[in-house]
Structure 1
Amino acid sequence: MEGCLLQKREKTIAGDERQTLDAVVVGAGAGGLYALLRLKREGRTVRLFEAGSEVGGTWYWNNYPGARVDVPSLEYSYSFDRALQQEWVWPERYSAQPQLQAYFSHVADRYGLRDQITFETKVVSAEFDESRSLWKVRTDGGEVVWARFFIVATGPLSEPIFPKIEGMSTFKGTSVHTGRWKTDGADVAHKRVGVIGTGSSGAQIAPELAKTARKLHLLQRTPAYSVPSQNKVLDAQEIAHLKSNYDAIREHARANRSALGIDVNDVGAFEVSEDERQRIFEERWQYGGLGFTAAFGDLYLDVDANKTAADFVRQKIREIVEDADVADRLMPDTLIGAKRLCVDNGYFQMFNRDNVELVDLRENPLLAIDETGIVTAQGHIDLDVIVYATGFDAFTGSILKIDIRGRGGKELKAVWDSGPRTYLGLCVAGFPNMFIVNGPGSPAGLANMVTLAETEVDWIVDCIQSIDRQGKSEIEAIQEKQDCWGRTLNEMAEQTIYPLANSWYVGANVPGKPRNFMSHLDYPEYVRSCRASAESGYADFRVE
């Protein structure tokens, strides 16, 4: 293979052995697996390091009760192989964690990827050696691997965060974060359970735990908007119809800003009558899923238009929740969609159960945790299990856990001290031959993650091939281009409602994290930018 380095052993100055590869990939989720597959198909020597004991990324770690994808699983899948599309059968419209994990495991087996994966191993550092144009990658087991290219596919939502509460370590019951259920999960049957958090994880896990828990206390920091998934089992006829139309489904999805097959209504919310507006909202509600906020084209652009959708959901909460006081406390007071919209399976209905109690932390603050439970301003809550559904250090958390150093030993953590900066969401100035998949500056978090991963990995592998054809050794983002890309992201965000909320989109869920909007808002436009770069021969990069 042209330009391909052969895997080899060579003696270092110190006399130890080192292994030189074409690439090291970090993370065995959707992006990492596809990167490994593409590189392997190109004849590249590559190793993938994964902290878990299996593939699947977020669907390995997040195996809590109720964990389920919030976009149609038919779309949350690879498109690179039509045979794979046809042979795999998704049992439900929104498949649960076991099916998602099984899918990625099947991909690893089908394409013979496991031999290149080292499980239960964390990459702790990566340093660029300018004299050799190689990355020196070190693992927590002490292994050192040298590679031309360093590909970070750790995922934008994979580093759990815990709230800072006095006495957390003193609790003698079971404490577990939803994002680490795989290793720390708990049996809650007939136990007293406290769930802290009402984001997507909280809205999914709480209704499931309530089915078997003796008592479930849902501790609400901020009321959340949630829409029903209207999930269902797919029958054989539906599956056959979907598979026969897969190409059209993919094409339709890639034309949308979210890279999802959502029907976007370009009409404004006030361009129709009140009755028609309510009819459209109801139709979207009954269909289920994230398409609710695509009911009108200006819901993310105009505050007044957005309020019409928010009011509709608030009315739904009043209709579903039988206790009017509880319903009032569940009412979100922010704009809908400015924070990640939850997609649930019986979240609001859960509050009609006798064994569920809502604890509104706005009126009854959480003061501390002690050996036997949670202390609030109004008293003590006795608990056997505390579940932290408190989210993730989005986009940067998992990347910055690795000590990454580029030219001149510059730390990525220092470079991103005031917020992450990338070019095309793929590269960082000062860090040659390093690529990021589903990272900050891309549509990650707002677009179909599997589709986006395929797009970015294809670009990365094609870029590597191009560099080799040119006889070059390095590619690096140009600082001016990177700065311009950052301004573009901010300008796009400022035209929307996103900056008006304290969300993980802007890093507001992590104390002390710089406030920056970290996503690109338009998948098709993003693809055009990436394609233009490639078609120019990467003229917008420094290639040496």
Structure 2
Amino acid sequence: MSPHSSSAVGLADTEVSLELDALIIGAGVAGLYQLHQLRELGLRVRAFDTASDVGGTWYWNRYPGARFDSEAYIYQYLFSDELYKNWSWSQRFPGQPEIEQWLHYVTDSLDLRRDIQFSTTITSAHYVEDSKRWIVRTDRGDTIATQFLITCAGMLSAPMSSVFEGQESFAGPIFHTSRWPKEGADVAGKKVAVIGVGATGIQVIQTIADKVEHLKVFIRTPQYALPMKNPSYDDRDVAAYKERFEELRATLPHTFSGFEYDFEHAWVDLTPEQRRKRLEEIYDNGSLKLWLASFAEVFSDEEVSEQVSEFVREKMRARLKDPKLCELLIPTDYGFGTHRVPLETNYLEVYHRPNVEAVGVRTNPISRIVPEGILLDDGTLHEVDVIILATGFDAGSGALTRIDIRGREDRSLTSDWSRDIRTTMGLMVHGYPNMLTTGAPLAPSAALCNMTTCLQQQTEWITECIRHMREHGYTVIEPTVEGEGEWVAHHDETANATLISKTNSWYNGANVPGKPRRVLSYTGGVGTYRELTLAAAAAGYKGFQLS
């Protein structure tokens, strides 16, 4: 499209290279479906992604051992039975290469590539009040004018990669797990350090332990880890889950977590023997069910939390055996489920290998990185050839605060969220008209959800919102101050009733120095959130101003 004059968008001395109805940031699970929907609506729309291809988190996270911990047959788009049934999974929890192939299949089946610009980073997005347009700039020199700015940048896409003093001095390579080289990295036969034992660190550790010469694992906060049962699928297994398509489509959007299972029993309704039987049965399922569908009270009742936590500790102790390893690797100062719960495959047994060393850094933290390796506070030097950072993300907000986003009166989202992280239903932010968000704070998609369930719901809400505006002659939507305040208050009241709010983790920003403290994810449940967002829309977009 030929350049347009600056007067068309009300920004002096600006040459616009492309005019759109909607611009999408990101070409992962949310961005791909959002692009499909808005094209079907007849909009001029384009998606932009820093990556060289589609996939979002499944493009970037190609570290050794990366795989689903949602069952493959529910981590799916559910708007088309044909799209669902024409792809067959090889396992219950497939690995990253297969997941990336699936997202290529979706992209090509829907012919989405022609409207995606890859290897392009959005650097700024400024709202121009007189033209009611966003002016968006990229690192490749594009200047785009768009009515709607839709962020599908991901809730875990801003890595915490510069976390230790002296990293640049290290003589060998340092890899953050979410920026693993596309061509791979050879760690075989080398002395390797892994810093961090969250879900990602666990997958890396259990995968490379038998390949490296020596593995040092630096442990600050141990995790309650559950064993994964990951059977391979034959033709009968595939046919069986495909036959459940309509059932899953009807069920997933309404459960607490967007998974197929939900809480069935209240703790107080069962005898101690019945509770133990139920815990054993769910534990044996080999999935996240113990976390997301055992007893809801585990999130709010300290006594129930302690009993379920002790059940998991008991299972871990039986496998670890060594009291020193138990002390390093089994949590005792927070409850099961108040952190992200990882699934693992023989992860605990890795520490019994002669070439694996567990290094506790809670009381003797990492001081700095030096050319030879990792230096602890007490002066101990751990010499290694390779450092792998499984140090997590600036979750929920980081993907957007790393872009220069400016709304009304030049207000900065980075500045606003540095003081107080607020949204309206995780879908919009007051002061930023026509900016619609997915995977943002204060919605279940920020953490507590089977991501495809929540991201589909949010993109569908956004699509229906834009359809409503076009049909009724509106050009601008923005949350009201009162509407946003009501949502934040409801979110906080719900979150503060949980033990998650009382536990330091990335769930409330505790892993990012200076980040405002607030539970990032809506904790009222996926089904409840869906009902509330749909009710707001049905009431004429209550809490929002349309003009």
Q: Give the TM bin, normalised by the shorter chain.
A: over 0.9
**Which of these residues, 533, 537, 543, is aligned with residue 534 of structure 1?**
537
| 1:202 lines up with 2:201 in the alignment | yes
Deviation of 1:25 (Å): 0.3
User: 2:520 aligns to what SS in structure 1?
Assistant: coil
Which residue number in structure 1 is paired with residue 450 of structure 2? 448
Which residue number in structure 1 is paired with residue 23 of structure 2? 24
Query: Which runs of structure 2 are paired with 1:393-542 in the superposition (5 Å)?
Result: 393-444=394-445, 445-521=447-523, 522-542=525-545
**Which of these residues, 6, 13, 38, is aligned with residue 12 of structure 1?**
6
Is the alpha carbon distance of 1:10 and 1:427 closer, same or farther for their aligned partners in structure 2, counting shifts above 3 Å?
Answer: same
Which residue number in structure 1 is paired with residue 287 of structure 2? 289
Is the alpha carbon distance of 1:355 and 1:322 closer, same or farther for their aligned partners in structure 2, counting shifts above 3 Å?
Answer: farther
d(CA) in 2 for partners of 1:114, 1:324: 54
**8 A contact 1:406–1:412 mirrored in 2:** yes
Query: Which runs of structure 2 are paired with 1:267-306 in the superposition (5 Å)?
Result: 267-268=266-267, 270-293=268-291, 294-306=293-305
Is the alpha carbon distance of 1:310 and 1:539 closer, same or farther for their aligned partners in structure 2, counting shifts above 3 Å?
Answer: closer
- Name which of structure 1's ranges 313-322 and 508-517 shifts more when overlaid on structure 2: 313-322
Deviation of 1:528 (Å): 1.0
Deviation of 1:209 (Å): 1.1
d(CA) in 1 for partners of 2:171, 2:185: 14
- Name which of structure 1's ranges 210-219 and 414-423 shifts more when overlaid on structure 2: 414-423
AA at the equivalent of 2:530: V
Deviation of 1:16 (Å): 3.8
Deviation of 1:425 (Å): 0.9
Query: Which runs of structure 2 are paired with 1:140-179 in the superposition (5 Å)?
Result: 140-162=139-161, 164-179=163-178
User: 1:147 aligns to what SS in structure 2?
Assistant: strand
Which residue number in structure 2 is paired with residue 71 of structure 1? 70
- Name which of structure 1's ranges 178-187 and 366-375 shifts more when overlaid on structure 2: 178-187
User: 1:299 aligns to what SS in structure 2?
Assistant: helix
**8 A contact 2:226–2:343 mirrored in 1:** yes
Deviation of 1:379 (Å): 2.3
**8 A contact 2:254–2:528 mirrored in 1:** no
User: 1:422 aligns to what SS in structure 2?
Assistant: coil
CA deviation profile, 1:227-255 (whole Å, cap 9, x unmatched): 11211112211211111112112323222
Which residue number in structure 2 is paired with residue 58 of structure 1? 57
User: 2:296 aligns to what SS in structure 1?
Assistant: coil
Deviation of 1:414 (Å): 2.1
**8 A contact 2:219–2:328 mirrored in 1:** no
**8 A contact 2:482–2:543 mirrored in 1:** no
d(CA) in 2 for partners of 1:462, 1:264: 31
CA deviation profile, 1:473-516 (whole Å, cap 9, x unmatched): 11111011101100111110121111121011110010111101
Which residue number in structure 2 is paired with residue 38 of structure 1? 37
d(CA) in 1 for partners of 2:414, 2:77: 32
d(CA) in 2 for partners of 1:164, 1:176: 12
d(CA) in 1 for partners of 2:315, 2:64: 25
d(CA) in 2 for partners of 1:204, 1:121: 30
**8 A contact 1:250–1:261 mirrored in 2:** no
d(CA) in 2 for partners of 1:44, 1:432: 18
Deviation of 1:12 (Å): 2.8
**8 A contact 1:174–1:186 mirrored in 2:** no
Deviation of 1:322 (Å): 3.8
AA at the equivalent of 2:537: A
CA deviation profile, 1:367-401 (whole Å, cap 9, x unmatched): 22211111233622110110000100001101111
Deviation of 1:15 (Å): 7.9
CA deviation profile, 1:400-451 (whole Å, cap 9, x unmatched): 1111111111111222232321111101111111100121111111011111
AA at the equivalent of 1:11: S
AA at the equivalent of 1:375: L
* Unaligned residue ranges in structure 2 (runs of 5+): 8-12
After the TM superposition, list the runs of 4 or more consecutive aligned residues in structure 1 that deviate by more than 6 angstroms.
none
**8 A contact 1:192–1:213 mirrored in 2:** yes
AA at the equivalent of 1:398: A
d(CA) in 1 for partners of 2:270, 2:463: 47
Which residue number in structure 1 is paired with residue 317 of structure 2? 318
User: 1:509 aligns to what SS in structure 2?
Assistant: coil
TM-score by length of 2: 0.95
Which residue number in structure 1 is paired with residue 360 of structure 2? 360
d(CA) in 2 for partners of 1:279, 1:383: 46
AA at the equivalent of 2:4: E
User: 2:97 aligns to what SS in structure 1?
Assistant: helix
- Name which of structure 1's ranges 49-58 and 99-108 shifts more when overlaid on structure 2: 99-108
d(CA) in 1 for partners of 2:368, 2:439: 36
Deviation of 1:290 (Å): 1.2
Deviation of 1:464 (Å): 0.9
AA at the equivalent of 1:413: T
Which residue number in structure 2 is paired with residue 3 of structure 1? none
Deviation of 1:163 (Å): 5.9
AA at the equivalent of 1:471: G
User: 2:154 aligns to what SS in structure 1?
Assistant: coil
**8 A contact 2:153–2:400 mirrored in 1:** yes
d(CA) in 1 for partners of 2:54, 2:61: 12
Deviation of 1:306 (Å): 0.8
User: 1:417 aligns to what SS in structure 2?
Assistant: helix
d(CA) in 2 for partners of 1:8, 1:467: 28
Aligned-pair identity (%): 36
AA at the equivalent of 2:50: A
**8 A contact 2:224–2:312 mirrored in 1:** yes
User: 1:298 aligns to what SS in structure 2?
Assistant: helix
- Name which of structure 1's ranges 250-259 and 472-481 shifts more when overlaid on structure 2: 250-259
CA deviation profile, 1:306-340 (whole Å, cap 9, x unmatched): 11111111111111114232123212021111111
CA deviation profile, 1:233-279 (whole Å, cap 9, x unmatched): 122112111111121123232221101112423220x5433333322
Deviation of 1:70 (Å): 1.2
Which residue number in structure 1 is paired with residue 112 of structure 2? 113
User: 1:491 aligns to what SS in structure 2?
Assistant: helix
User: 2:101 aligns to what SS in structure 1?
Assistant: helix
Which residue number in structure 1 is paired with residue 546 of structure 2? 543
d(CA) in 2 for partners of 1:482, 1:145: 29
d(CA) in 1 for partners of 2:485, 2:92: 41
**8 A contact 2:252–2:260 mirrored in 1:** yes
Query: Which runs of structure 2 are paired with 1:254-273 in the superposition (5 Å)?
Result: 254-268=253-267, 270-273=268-271
- Name which of structure 1's ranges 239-248 and 274-283 shifts more when overlaid on structure 2: 274-283
